[in-house]
Structure formats: C-alpha cells, structure tokens
Amino acid sequence: MRYLTAGESHGPKLVGILEGAPAGAVINKEKIDEALQERQKGPGRGGRMKIERDQVQILSGIRGGKTTGGPIALEIINRDWANWEKIMAWGSDADLESRKVITPRPGHADLTGYLKYRTEVRNVLERASARETAMRVAIGNIARQLLENLGVEIRGQVLAVGKVQANLQDTEDHWQRVKTSEWKVGDPEAEKALYAQVEEARAKGESLGGWLQVQVLNLPPGLGSYAQWDRKLDGRLAQAVLSIQAFKGVSFGMGFEAGRTFGSQVHDPIAYEEGRGYYRLSNNAGGLEGGMTNGEPVIIEGVMKPIPTLYSPLETVNLLTKEVEEASVERSDVCAVPAALVVMEHVVAWEILQAVLDKFPSDTWEELHKAWQEYKIYLSEQ
C-alpha cells in the first residue's frame, strides 16, 4: 500500500492517490470529512481556518460506498485559492513578484529549500506548509476506517502545551473529557491554564508547541518484523510521526525515561492466561518489542515545536542585500497542537494498516477479515 500527495498551500486544491486498499471495504465519506473538520479546530488556529471548509471529493477507487481495489483518487479544494489565483497561477501570466519572500523565517524550510532547489522562497513554503496534512488526514482516515472495522481503536490526547502539563488518568471519564475538549486534554484545570497561555502568546506575537500521545488498542502481537531494519514497525511509526511538520521527537511507552532506569523496572514481565494467551503485566515498551507489536496497546508520543512564523519576528538575512532584517510573516497559527494530534492519529493509522496488510492476505476485505479472525483464534489457543 502506498500514497502520494500534491498541491500547494494557496494553490487550487490538494490531491492524493492511495493504492493498495483491499477491494470491498466499506468507506464512509462523512467520517473523512469529520476528521478534516477536527483538524481545522483549536483555540490557537489562525485566519486561514475561517476561510477553509475542508471536505474530500472522491474521484475514483470507491463506488457504492466500497473500495474497488483500484487506486483511490481524492481532492480537497482550497477556498483561499480565490485570493491567490493570480499569484499562484501555473502559466506565464503568474504574478511572480507579488508576495515574493526575500526574508526567510528561522525554523522553517524557507532558506534551506531556496538553497537546495534554487527557486523562489514562495515555491518552497507553499509545499512545505502544514496545509499538506489535510490530504494526509483524508488518506489516513480511509486506513483508520479499515482498522476500526477490524476492531482496532485509535485515540489521542494532548499531554502538554508550552509550560502547561495535563494530569493523566486512564479512565473512561478522562477519555470522554478528551473527546469534548478543544485542547484534547482530560484535565479541566489544565484546560483553563491553556486558554490563558495561548492568549499570552498571542499578545506577545509568540507561538506554542506541545507534547502529544496516540494510543492504538486491540492489536494482535506480530505486526511488523525484526528481520530487516525497514520492516520494524516502531521505526516506521517514528518516521511517519516525524514527517509531520514541526515534529522534532518521538518515543514509545516509557520513552526516554528508560535510559535512566534499571532494566528490571523497564522490561514488562510476561504472563499467560488460558483463553487469553500470553500478555504483559505492564506496558513500558509501549506495545512494541523487536520491531513488532506484542499485543499490548501501542503508545506513541511526539513533540511538536512552536510554529516558526512569529508575529514578533526573529532576525534573518535579506536574500538580495544580505543585510539583517526581520523575518517575513505569513498568516499562521499561534498554536496548532490539537490539530497536529488529529494528523498524528491518522499517520499512525496508515502505518498500522500497512503492517496489517503486510501480514495478512488483503486483495479483498473478505480475505483480510477472515485471516484476521483466524489469527486471533490461533493466539487465544497458544
């Protein structure tokens, strides 16, 4: 299974092609649109999200609500294109001088992309923009729906934003609060502090990053492999999370604390129960051992840096004069951490489904579902 995306932040549309989904799988377009709308929300979002009303258009590969086995082609219209049509036009009549960027932003792809491709900075930032993640959410939601139909649950929460850290509880009430929270946190007191912090950042022309967690429940052991480096599922998940714009770190389970703790307090004791099979007494490994799922929930955490566009800009160098100036300002968010959580959930869903399809026959949904159920029976009998 594979996919490609294309499109610029202020171009006419985003497009994506997904290949390799099993034929006959039920796909609900409304669920894709709901995920796209979730990605647009959050107290720290900027003006762009007031313009866009993201919805996916399915062009091929799904007919009568079911996948056909052929490539799935998707598009998401950029409503803001109407304000940028002359600037972003593909033909020779494009207004290349308007909105030209000559003061690259520290922390963004601007300068390095300009040096690498020898092109105008506008061409770099348009594709490097996190606007691209809208299509990744749409594609990832197709994967998520297939996983849900196998009984796999994916959920996420924001652990911290800036200096505010939420208290965590693994209870049903906690996760219900996460679902209804604009900040995707289950701690009401932390939520109050987050609103105050984002307003402080807005007033100062600053931006905020955060710390996020995604959990994948009801996976069997044996997805992924230790046989080759590029088949290790934790490696593939880490790459997927780090490919999200502004993400700078990823960990599993206990994460970096494992490097400061004795092994007896890190590794998870193994137990056995008839009818259940083998399981772990704890989950410090985050559901992954030797590059494979071990049957416990997969727990992944990611760190997102503050967005590089600052309304109180840092110093940079003018590309024409080489003089020190303030960096350019593109319309941006103060904080996009809750939105980034939606993206993280969906890139994780894609990699998990990829591992499922690697293990089980999957030309059709019927084959995949049958093999999945047979494997679960096998595990319970060991």
Task: CATH number of the domain at 30, please.
Answer: 3.60.150.10
Averaged pLDDT for residues 62-88:
95
Three-state DSSP string of 115-144: HHHCCCHHHHHHHHCHHHHHHHHHHHHHHH
Whether residue 307 contacts residue 327, with contact meaning beta carbons closer than 8 Å, is answered with: no
88 pLDDT exceeds 80?
yes
DSSP, collapsed to helix, strand or coil, labels residue 260 as helix
**pLDDT for 309:** 86
User: Residue 45: what pLDDT?
Assistant: 76
Helix (H, G, I), strand (E, B) or coil at 99: coil
Answer whether 220's CB lies under 8 Å from 277's CB.
no
Residue 382: the pLDDT is 83
Burial of 263 (0-12, 13-18, 19+ CB in 10 A): exposed
How much is the mean pLDDT over the chain?
Answer: 95
Q: Per residue in 316-366, pLDDT tens? A: 999 999 999 999 888 778 999 999 999 999 999 999 999 999 999 999 999
Q: How far is CA 328 from CA 75, 101, 107, 218, 314, in A?
A: 30, 7, 12, 46, 9
Q: What integer is the mean pLDDT of 188-196?
A: 96
The DSSP symbol for 208 reads B
pLDDT per residue as tens digits for the range 193-207: 999 999 999 999 999
Residue type, 173: D
Averaged pLDDT, 173-193:
96
Instruction: Check residue 100 and give its pLDDT.
Output: 93
Task: Judge whether residue 47 has pLDDT over 70.
Answer: no
Residue type, 42: G
> pLDDT for 207-227, tens place per residue?
999 999 999 999 999 999 999
Which residue blocks in the chain are alpha helix, DSSP H? 29-39, 48-51, 81-88, 110-117, 121-128, 133-149, 172-180, 188-204, 233-242, 337-359, 365-381
Mean pLDDT of 363-373: 98
Coil, helix or strand at residue 154: strand
Query: In the prediction, which pLDDT does 336 show?
Result: 94
Host domain of residue 295? 2-381
CA distance between the termini of the chain: 31
pLDDT surpasses 90 at 293: yes
Q: What integer pLDDT is reported at residue 49 of this predicted model? A: 67
For 174-179, what is the mean pLDDT?
Answer: 96
Q: How far apart are CA 162 and CA 242, in angstroms?
A: 19
Task: Write the CA distances from 13 to 6, 331, 339, integer angstroms.
Answer: 9, 18, 20
- Among 153, 172, 135, 122, CA closest to 52: 135
Residue 301 to residue 337: CA distance in whole angstroms: 13
- C-beta atoms surrounding 231 within 10 Å: 15
48: pLDDT strictly greater than 70: no
Non-local CB neighbours of 184 within 8 Å, separated by 6+ positions: 156, 157, 158, 178, 337, 338, 341
- Residue 369 in tokens: 């579902």
Q: Return the H-helix or E-strand segment holding 161.
A: strand 153-161
CA 21/CA 61 separation, integer angstroms: 9
| Rounded distance between C-alpha atoms, residue 182 and residue 205, angstroms | 22
Q: What is the pLDDT of residues 215-263, one digit of tens each?
A: 999 999 999 999 999 999 999 999 999 999 999 999 999 999 999 999 9
Would you say residue 165 has pLDDT above 80?
yes
3-class SS of residue 60: strand
Q: Structure tokens of 138? A: 């749409």
Both structure tokens of 319: 């590309």
- Predicted confidence (pLDDT) at residue 46 exceeds the cutoff of 80: no
In total, the chain counts a number of residues equal to 382
Q: Could you tell me the sign of the dihedral formed by the alpha carbons of 268, 166, 145, 237, in that order? A: negative
As a whole number, mean pLDDT of residues 138-165 equals: 98
Number of domains the chain is built from:
1
Task: Specify the residue for token string 């003006």.
Answer: 47
Q: Is 75 helix (H, G, I), strand (E, B) or coil?
A: strand
